[in-house]
Chain A
Amino acid sequence: MTNSFGAVYYVFGFVVTLWLVFVSVLARLQGRACSRSTVFGLGAGVLVLSLLPLGGLPVWRWGLSIWPNPSVPFVGLICLALWPRLGGSAWFAPSDRRATWLFGAVAGTALAVQTLSPVAIDLYGGGWEGATAVGVTALLAVVSFARGNRFGALLLVAMIAWALGALESLNLWDYLVDPVYWLVSLGGGLRTWQTRGRACRCSPPLTPITPS
């Protein structure tokens, strides 16, 4: 990160991610949803934990050491998942979330394949091309909004975050997708696929057409 806004964004992204993990794990262990006061308490605890020094660095800086550029859509999804647990109403419909996971899986795979396998194409390089990269991102957002999908809002915020220098990377693609978002999207996609597969297998057989 190159400015104080970047530090605030990083701490925010780190804290909400850890917060959601703790809330989810505790709910699973209890076998029921956490109460609102518990959720708030965990949030405060995670914030304090993130600022505590560990091995000469605040805990959040250990996160920065291995996950330097949390993307805006991922942080947005985390916030959208936390919000109902804090008593708010859901902002994203399932189709909005699916679009966000699909984008993370596709965009993340494209960038990872380019980095890890021998393909003669420099996709990541496109993210340095200011106006072109912004144009592509804006087009995706407009298409999303035109279809009534809220995923475009995350792309819109990502463009603003890029203009403000929220991440240490100057590449716009890093604002749109990151490796954690990519892997979680792939996992989410796989789970959805498995769930649908089970649903198909469990659905009642078609009634045979009996000749009259």
Chain B
Amino acid sequence: MNRSSANITKRDFLKKCLAVSAGAVCLPRIAFTGTLSTWEQQKYRKLAMYQEETPRGIMCRICPNECVLKEGELSQCNNRIVHDSKLYTMAYGNPCSVNIDPVEKKPLYHFFPGSRAFSIATAGCNLVCLNCQNWTISQTGPDKTRNFDLMPDKVVNEALKNNSRSIAYTYSEPMTFFEYVFDTALIAREKGVKNIVKSNGYINPEPLKKLCTVIDAANIDLKCFNDTTYLKLSGGKLQPVLDSLKVYRDAGIWLEITNLMVPGWTDNAEETARMCKWLSGNGFRDVPLHFSRFHPTHKLQQLPPTPLSVLNNAVKTALSEGIKYVYTGNVPGSEVSDTKCPSCGTVLVSRIGFSVTYNSIRDRKCSKCGNSIPGVWS
């Protein structure tokens, strides 16, 4: 053998070491993503609803992202994958977060006040909010989280066992585990357990209408009223959310809306006024509106919490636009949390924190003037 070709110089050795190191860094990732179809993961897969074959691939029709996926590709929400030319959800029966919360924490103030909600979430979300307080589950997929084994019937049984009046599909985005929500809600309904979705409202009308046949209440995040901000802050669009609100309203689902006031992003007084005007003019006057205080989280850690004056001004704006039930959240001690009769001003439901200390609503009516108070009270 030629000596020069057989010998490796120190320098070549060093270069090869560096190349191997770089390869070692890259390979685990490729290897990891190549093991997506293990049997264990198959167990939590289900044929996805609302899929459509297109010349470019399989289109997921659940949300306005409308991902078109080829074989093996993952959807933007990290929950859906194409296998054998069919779209599957990977989030079915494998929630990563399970808690029991007061229903007021969702927040839902006009829906079985003082009750508890058995709350579940799988990993995955169709938006990428810079201020997501659940980023550890929303910005990843169910194949990367530690999950519980909770098939739909088991979820309902657990909710009953824990004396929960309802099941809340929350924390991440329930529309990304649509099939799991739908099947669980169907069983829950049969067993008298209510169903709540806490959602960003980023869903197409057709699947939403289907979902509305099995759910009882929803709290929708209306993040802001500006398309540019929606895109920058969350990677989504405003119009689909507004369309969703109308679907919920028309379907007769109990609806409450949350607006998180992020300083410098979504707390512009003029924008708040426009949002309230739109809500008022589109039949949402009776829908409770929650203005929530922002606290620095995830990527937005250089912002201060929302000033109380901003929240209080937003409440005034909403009331002046004719929205009847307006609350503030995340400000213990300074919250606007009591439900007052819009007709006579009597305090009907008094709340401290997540607890209801007083409730005088009888038969959905004000105990003093008899005015009808919308909500699901008992």
Specify whether A and B are partners.
no
